[in-house]
Structure 1
């Protein structure tokens, strides 16, 4: 069993509050930590090392000209879900970095949207065992009608937080 990271500990702490407070507090906390996520109004429904589920209501501030959730907001939803999935599994001494984001818009969306991100047990183990690497995080984005309006591919990398400094040679 691996040691819980900072994000896991924060989520666990929020679970100690009354159940009805958990999702609003989780959403507020992450929205304050990542301001763009808070501004967009992304809501966190579930955060575990196995699955992250987030939602976005079709509200005026995230709409495009045809009253659907804007393409950029949809990409933010997928990126946030996958980033949190990596964050829930990455040890504290490593830094997650978005490497590649591919978003194919295949259908018009209807109403609110939901993103579900997952990692395989092998991918989670890789995040713990390698100093640096990359992982393609699976994410499924659906709209209110249960349709998949976008197909997303999110490639995340990780590196050590603190680069090793070369040993200084003494000058004589």
Structure 2
């Protein structure tokens, strides 16, 4: 994060309690890229003994948020990152521990330039979810925006 040493995964788990509830673990987060996983827990299963679709979505959305924060976290003083749309494809039945890998599809410079120009930038993050054996079980595209903070009145 531009020379800042911030534990993005820790920050996300502190600010998004639901991610903590699911037991999401952040493995690596840096430069618009994030990898995290959710342990296999029976209380998170669906009717076919794999993680529920809501678990998969939350894992992927959390990875995308961490990727955004790793690239744009230094902009938090002037804008709040928010997901606007997400498209998920469930490709195979997920079983066991599931891993999410997210990467920002826009350059940091492009997003900051649009913010500097007074725009509300929108940009995509691609996420791939895999089983322990590396099989792709779901893919997502999450569109994020940076909503500029309203100026505070004196």
Asked if Structure 1 and Structure 2 have the same fold, meaning a TM-score greater than 0.5 normalized by the shorter chain, the answer is yes
Is 1:112–1:144's contact at 8 Å kept on the other side of the alignment?
yes
Aligned to 2:111: 127
Report the Cα offset of residue 138 of structure 1.
1.5
Report the Cα offset of residue 73 of structure 1.
0.4
The 2-side partners of 1:83 and 1:54 are apart by: 11
Aligned to 1:15: none
What secondary structure sits across from 1:110 in the alignment?
coil
Is 1:57–1:111's contact at 8 Å kept on the other side of the alignment?
yes
CA offsets, 1:106-158, max 9 Å, x none? Answer: 211121111111125x5221222222211111211111121111121111111
Runs (5+) with no aligned partner, structure 1: 13-25, 167-172
Is 1:53–1:116's contact at 8 Å kept on the other side of the alignment?
yes
The structure with more strand, counted as a fraction of residues: 2
Aligned to 1:115: 100
TM-score (norm 1): 0.76
Larger radius of gyration: 1
The 2-side partners of 1:88 and 1:61 are apart by: 31
What secondary structure sits across from 1:130 in the alignment?
helix
- Sort the Cα spacing of 1:9 and 1:110 in 2 relative to 1 into closer, same or farther, 3 A: same
Aligned to 1:98: 83
What secondary structure sits across from 2:107 in the alignment?
helix
- Sort the Cα spacing of 1:3 and 1:152 in 2 relative to 1 into closer, same or farther, 3 A: closer
State yes or no: 1:11 paired with 2:4. Answer: no
Of structures 1 and 2, the one with the larger relative CO (CA 8 A, separation 6+) is: 2
| Partner residue of 1:85 out of 60, 67, 70 | 67
Is 2:49–2:95's contact at 8 Å kept on the other side of the alignment?
no
* Superposition map of 1:12-51 within 5 A: 27=10, 30-51=12-33
CA-based RMSD of the aligned residues comes to 2.2
Runs (5+) with no aligned partner, structure 2: none
